[in-house]
């Protein structure tokens, strides 16, 4: 069911130099599934102009706190994010949704999930991971970004890995001084590092990345019915 609700920006967290996490407190409950997305709308009176709506994945698990979290990349020439960047804590924003089938829910009778994300494509995977942990579903994450400074939600990933609650492999593609594994997610990399062939596989990121990773997974024997995708951009 699609809802239109008002939300207050309870907190803004700077994830990286150009990425913000917005914690939104909804004025009424909006049930959603892990991995879904919403449309955000900024009141035209705030900037005295009509601003187009924009889709953002929900970056937290379903909860009863009337809360959703959004991870937004601030793009200077974006007709939406340049205005989103100017909003402050305690201001209002409208939320419409939820939408999408890139989800993990009680209907999925599985014991483990593998999450493969690139860039801000990791956002819905965070919510799916948190939901899987709540349901005692084993979670594996493979996430790549350009540099160490671009990595999103890295503190939580590292903490969960250290506590053996998830398996996590982080790669950087353009950072010669990275403390992480350097390189891209390739067929050869997955042959050596894919932790399982069981359960569901969630792949999210730019279209080329998603297409490549899906091809690699299928070549490794993963049934296409067990692969869910979300393409950004």
Please, where in the chain does CATH 2.40.30.10 lie? 3-99
User: What's residue 100's pLDDT?
Assistant: 96
Looking up tokens 């004025």, which residue turns up?
Answer: 27
Neighbours of 28 (CB within 10 A): 9
User: Residues 81-109: pLDDT tens digits?
Assistant: 999 999 999 999 999 999 999 999 888 88
User: What's residue 109's pLDDT?
Assistant: 87
Please, where in the chain does CATH 3.40.50.80 lie? 112-231
With a cut of 90, say whether residue 76 has pLDDT above it.
Answer: no
% pLDDT > 70, the chain = 99
Structure letter (DSSP) for residue 3: E
CATH fourth-level superfamily of 3-99? Translation factors (2.40.30.10)
Distances (CA, A) of 132 to 87, 112, 126, 199: 32, 8, 10, 12
Tokens read off for 17: 């130099």
With cut-offs at 50, 70 and 90, classify the pLDDT of residue 181.
Answer: very high
Residue among 5, 20, 11 nearest 96 (CA):
5
User: Residues 124-171: pLDDT tens digits?
Assistant: 999 999 999 999 999 999 999 999 999 999 999 999 999 999 999 999
Helix (H) or strand (E) holding 112: strand 112-118
- Mean pLDDT computed over 201-228: 98
Looking up tokens 């993990």, which residue turns up?
Answer: 104
Fold of 112-231: Rossmann fold (3.40.50)
DSSP characters over 162-196 = HTTSEEEEEEESS-TT-SSEES---HHHHHHH---
Which of 1-5, 63-67, 206-210 bottoms out in mean pLDDT, i.e. has the lowest? 1-5
């Amino acid at each position: 069911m699609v809802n239109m609700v008002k939300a207050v920006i309870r907190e803004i967290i700077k994830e990286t130099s150009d990425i913000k996490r917005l914690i939104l407190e909804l004025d009424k409950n909006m049930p959603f599934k892990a991995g879904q997305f919403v449309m955000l709308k900024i009141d035209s009176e705030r900037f005295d102009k009509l601003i187009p709506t924009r889709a953002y994945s929900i970056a937290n698990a379903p909860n009863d706190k009337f809360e959703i979290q959004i991870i937004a990349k601030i793009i200077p020439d974006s007709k939406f994010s340049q205005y989103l960047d100017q909003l402050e804590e305690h201001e209002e924003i409208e939320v419409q949704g939820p939408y999408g089938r890139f989800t993990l829910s009680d209907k999925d009778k599985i014991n483990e999930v593998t999450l493969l994300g690139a860039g801000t494509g990791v956002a819905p995977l965070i919510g799916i991971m948190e939901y899987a942990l709540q349901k005692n579903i084993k979670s594996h994450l493979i996430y790549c970004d350009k540099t160490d400074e671009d990595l999103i939600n890295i503190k939580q990933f590292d903490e969960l890995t250290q506590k053996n609650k998830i398996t996590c492999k982080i790669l950087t593609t353009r950072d010669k001084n990275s403390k992480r594994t350097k390189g891209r997610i390739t067929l050869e990399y997955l042959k050596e590092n894919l932790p399982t062939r069981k359960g569901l596989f969630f792949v999210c990121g730019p279209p080329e990345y998603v297409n490549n990773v899906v091809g690699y997974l299928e070549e490794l024997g993963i049934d296409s019915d067990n692969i869910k995708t979300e393409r950004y951009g």
